[in-house]
Amino acid sequence: MVRPGGRSARVQEAVHTAVRELDAEVGRSALTVPLVAARAGVTPSTVYRRWGDLQELLSDVAVEHLRPDTPPEDHGSLAADLQHWAEQFLEETASPAGRSYVRDALLGDPDGDNAGRCSAYAAEQLQVVLDRAAQRGEAAPDVETLLDRIVAPMMYRILFRPDGLEPPYAQRLVREALDAPAARQVSRRP
Amino acid sequence: MVRPGGRSARVQEAVHTAVRELDAEVGRSALTVPLVAARAGVTPSTVYRRWGDLQELLSDVAVEHLRPDTPPEDHGSLAADLQHWAEQFLEETASPAGRSYVRDALLGDPDGDNAGRCSAYAAEQLQVVLDRAAQRGEAAPDVETLLDRIVAPMMYRILFRPDGLEPPYAQRLVREALDAPAARQVSRRP
DNA sequence: GTCATGAAGCAAGGATTTTGCTTTAAGATG
DNA sequence: CATCTTAAAGCAAAATCCTTGCTTCATGAC
């Protein structure tokens, strides 16, 4: 039985807030469940029972951070929309904070739920861009292709080689994704 | 002062072996530092002082698992070499065990050292394939392009959407990477 | 207004992590 | 070959964290 707005929701909110505040104040390495619980005005056992351990809690908080708060901006063309979206994505996600959110989201995620959610966020944003392109009558690849060509390379480098990730890299990925042969229209789920 | 072959090396070997054995015997969720230390015939404080915590230890062990033990097979052409290498990479890395090694390697890795090593392994293997292609006189993209076009998409899906990853997906990525306009020869570090 | 239920509080017990000090072993030095 | 130096391992106590059974509370249902 779900009870949104009730005590459970207040506790969740308080705990998430405590994590964000303490992360900023004392840093990730000093975060502990008892510390978070104390700040949230809650018993440690409550946190353990609801989240299991600190990593799963951090994963939940990270996914909230990574959720886009606005739809992608409209710049009049598919190419421009993708350029801006990719640059913004890279800027946010390649930052030390962004990178640690991605890692947290992946880390405390036994069932892969949160990881899937992160990918879904990107896919939703891209779909908005593609829908606008379709309304304009522009030819466009599909979402899966853009994930492979734009999101995956950025994420791979963010996770495995977080050096030298600058806007031109995002621009080049977008350009090459759009330059590719137009056969990219058909569905290409793996 | 590094003392390879000395006591330090023996302890490292014993601890790594203990992790591998116990992971197989009792499972990841039951692994603890005291358990590993006992199996390795070592004091827990030794493990804590050398590795910091269980995640960093698991990260080190995972990187060893992910190190390729043989150079990529020679199938007579760049396309065939890449096809086989990509399929094998996907099969090994997308398996539950492979996926958990990748996650371990990424997670217990504060400085990003181990993650960089994983990427370097892939880059080295690809470079061998490319060198062979050059000897045959074949035109070929560079390593960075192959990382973007082949490795990154596979890794992204392994980490974020570990469903439906089958050999045809790897084949398609290789085909499209090689189909792309030949301007891909120039260096493209991000 | 009372009840049923899921979640939070509490507290004790057990396990893990940290830490200061001591001991050991590998390599350097004479 | 004996001795010295030093980094790492052993040991043990203390602190901290995690688990768990039971109790209490708040929410929504009847």
pLDDT per residue over B86-136, tens digit each?
A: 999 999 999 999 999 999 999 999 889 999 999 999 999 999 999 999 999
Closest CB to B152: pick one of A116, A156, A165: A156
- Considering all CA atoms of chain B, what is the largest pairwise distance in Å, rounded to the nearest integer? 58
**Positive/negative CA dihedral, B71, B73, B78, B80:** negative
> What SS3 string covers B99-167?
HHHHHHHHHCCCCCHHHHHHHHHHHHHHHHHHHHHHHHCCCCCCHHHHHHHHHHHHHHHHHHCCCCCCH
How many separate helices (H) and strands (E) can be counted in chain A?
A: 10, 0
* CA distance, residue A6 to nearest chain B CA (Å): 32
The pLDDT score that the predictor gives to residue B42 is: 98
Q: What positions of strand C are covered by protein, i.e. any atom < 7 Å from a CB?
A: 5-11, 15-20, 25-27
Per the CB < 8 Å rule, is B148 touching A153? yes
CB contact under 8 A, A116 and B189: no
Backbone φ and ψ of A6, nearest 5°: -90, -155
Q: What is the Cα–Cα distance from A91 to A78, expressed in whole angstroms?
A: 20
Q: Which two tokens stand for residue B59?
A: 């990260």
The pLDDT value recorded for residue A111 is 87
- Rounded, the Å distance between the CA of B67 and C1' of C20 is 39
Across all residues in chain A, what is the average pLDDT? 92
A83 within 8 A of A168, measured Cβ to Cβ = no
Answer whether residue A188 shows pLDDT above 60: no
Of residues A180 and B74, more confidently modeled: B74
Q: How far is the CA of A33 from the C1' of D21 (A)?
A: 21
- Tokens at A156, concatenated: 């791979």
pLDDT band per the 50, 70, 90 thresholds, residue A104: very high
Total count of residues recorded for chain B: 190
CB proximity B161 to A under 8 Å: yes
CA distance B146 to B142: 7
Mean pLDDT of chain B: 92
- Give the torsion sign (CA, A143, B184, B119, A162): negative
Contact A59, A101 (CB under 8 A): no
Chain B segment 109-148 residues within 8 A of A by beta carbon are: 112, 115-116, 118-119, 147-148
B11 Cβ within 7 A of any nucleic strand C atom: no
Distance separating the N- and C-terminal Cα atoms of chain B = 36
CB-based burial label for A103 (10 Å; 0-12, 13-18, 19+):
buried
Q: What is the pLDDT of residue B7?
A: 78
Determine the Cα–Cα distance for residues A122 and B63; give it in Å rounded to an integer: 29
- Calculate mean pLDDT across residues A173-177: 97
Give me the percent of chain B exceeding a pLDDT of 70: 92
Cβ of B161 less than 7 A from strand D:
no
Q: Please report, rounded to whole angstroms, the spatial distance between the CA atom of protein residue A46 and the C1' atom of nucleotide D23.
A: 15
Average pLDDT over residues A121-139: 97
Q: Is the pLDDT assigned to residue B187 strictly greater than 60?
A: no
* Residue B24 in this model has a pLDDT that exceeds 70: yes
CA angle B138, B139, B140 (to 5 degrees): 110
Measured distance CA(B157)–CA(A161) in Å, rounded: 17
Q: DSSP string of A31-75? A: --HHHHHHHHT--HHHHHHHHSSHHHHHHHHHHHHHS-SSPPP--
Residues of B within 8 A of A148 (CB-CB) are 153, 156, 173
Residues contacting B94, CB < 8 A, separation 6+ = B154, B157, B158, B162, B165
Query: SS3 helix, strand, coil % of chain A, rounded to 5?
Result: 75, 0, 25
Contacts of A147 in chain B (CB under 8 A): 153, 156
CB contact under 8 A, A189 and B155: no
Report whether pLDDT(A187) > 80: no
Question: Do A155 and B151 make contact, defined as CB atoms within 8 angstroms?
Answer: no
The whole-angstrom separation of Cα B67 and Cα B116 is: 12
Q: Which pTM value belongs to this model?
A: 0.92
Nearest neighbour of A156 by CB, restricted to B151, B165, B188: B151
Q: Which pLDDT does position A8 carry in this prediction?
A: 84
Q: How far is CA B104 from CA A24, B57, B154, in A?
A: 25, 9, 17
Please compute the mean of the pLDDT values over residues B65-88 and round it to a whole number: 98
CB within 8 A of A86, min separation 6: which ones? Answer: A150, A154, A170, A171, A173, A174
* Helix H or strand E encompassing B176: helix B167-179
Count CB neighbours of A116 within 10 A: 15
